[in-house]
Amino acid sequence: MKLVPKLPVVRPGGAKVLLPNEIVDLKKPVTRSRVVRVEFCELASEGLMDKFVIRGGNRLVGSIRISGAKNAALPAMAAALLTDEPVILENIPDVRDIQTERNLLVSMGAEVELGYGRASHRTTISCKNLVNPEAAYELVKTMRASTLVLGPLVARMGRARVSQPGGCAIGARPIDLHIKGLERLGSSIKQEHGYIEATADRLRGGHIIFDKITVTGTEDLMMAATLAQGETVMENCAREPEVVDLAALLTKMGAKIEGAGTHTIRIQGVDKLHGARHRIIPDRIEAGTFVTAAVLTGGDLTLTNCDPTHLGALTQKLEECGVSIRAAADSIRVTNGHQLAAADVTTEEYPGFPTDMQAQYMALATQAQGTSIITENIFENRFMHAQELARMGANIKVEGSRAVVRGKTSLSSAAVQCSDLRASASLVLAALVADGETILDRVYHIDRGYERIEEKLKSVGAQIRRIGEFLPRRAAVPSVVA
Nearer to ligand EPU, 176 or 455 (CB): 176
Strand partners, 278: 89
Nearer to ligand EPU, 17 or 76 (CB): 76
**For 209, what's the count of Cα atoms within 13 Å in the CB-facing half-sphere?**
1
DSSP for 99-112 reads HHHHHHHHHTT-EE
Q: How far is the CB of 307 from ligand EPU (least distance, A)?
A: 16
The piece of 55-63, 196-204, 211-219, 290-298 that touches ligand EPU (CB under 6 A) is 211-219
Rounded to whole angstroms, the Cα distance separating 125 from 7 reads: 20
214 contributes a contact to ligand EPU by CB under 6 A:
yes
The piece of 101-109, 172-180, 266-274, 389-397 that touches ligand EPU (CB under 6 A) is 172-180
Q: Are 450 and 95 a contacting pair, CB within 8 Å?
A: yes
Q: How far is the CB of 242 from ligand EPU (least distance, A)?
A: 6
Q: How far is the CB of 215 from ligand EPU (least distance, A)?
A: 4
- The residues in 17-76 that bind ligand EPU, with binding defined as CB under 6 A, are 71, 74
Rounded to whole angstroms, the Cα distance separating 124 from 115 reads: 8
The secondary element (H helix, E strand) that includes residue 403 is strand 402-407
89 contributes a contact to ligand EPU by CB under 6 A:
no
Q: Are 121 and 115 a contacting pair, CB within 8 Å?
A: yes
Amino acid at 216: T
- Whether residue 418 lies in the annotated active site: no
The secondary element (H helix, E strand) that includes residue 265 is strand 265-268
Rg (CA), the chain: 22
- The residues in 222-261 that bind ligand EPU, with binding defined as CB under 6 A, are 238, 242
Site string for ligand EPU, 396-425 (x = CB under 6 A): -------------------------xx---
Rounded to whole angstroms, the Cα distance separating 383 from 345 reads: 14
325 contributes a contact to ligand EPU by CB under 6 A:
no
User: Which of 100, 126, 355, 413 is in the footprint of ligand EPU by CB under 6 A?
Assistant: 355
3-state secondary structure 147-209: HHHHHHHHHHHCEEEEECCCCECCECCCCHHHHHHHHHCCCEEEEECCEEEEECCCCECCEEE
Q: Say if strands 415-417 and 437-441 run parallel, antiparallel, or are unpaired.
A: parallel
DSSP character at residue 14? T
Nearer to ligand EPU, 287 or 411 (CB): 287
Nearer to ligand EPU, 18 or 425 (CB): 425
140 contributes a contact to ligand EPU by CB under 6 A:
no
449 contributes a contact to ligand EPU by CB under 6 A:
yes
217 contributes a contact to ligand EPU by CB under 6 A:
yes
The piece of 30-38, 120-128, 213-221, 265-273 that touches ligand EPU (CB under 6 A) is 213-221
Select which of 127, 168, 237, 321 is catalytic.
168
Strand partners, 123: 89, 114
Catalytic residues: 168
Residues that bind ligand EPU (CB under 6 A): 71, 74, 144-145, 171-178, 212, 214-217, 238, 242, 355-356, 378-379, 421-422, 449
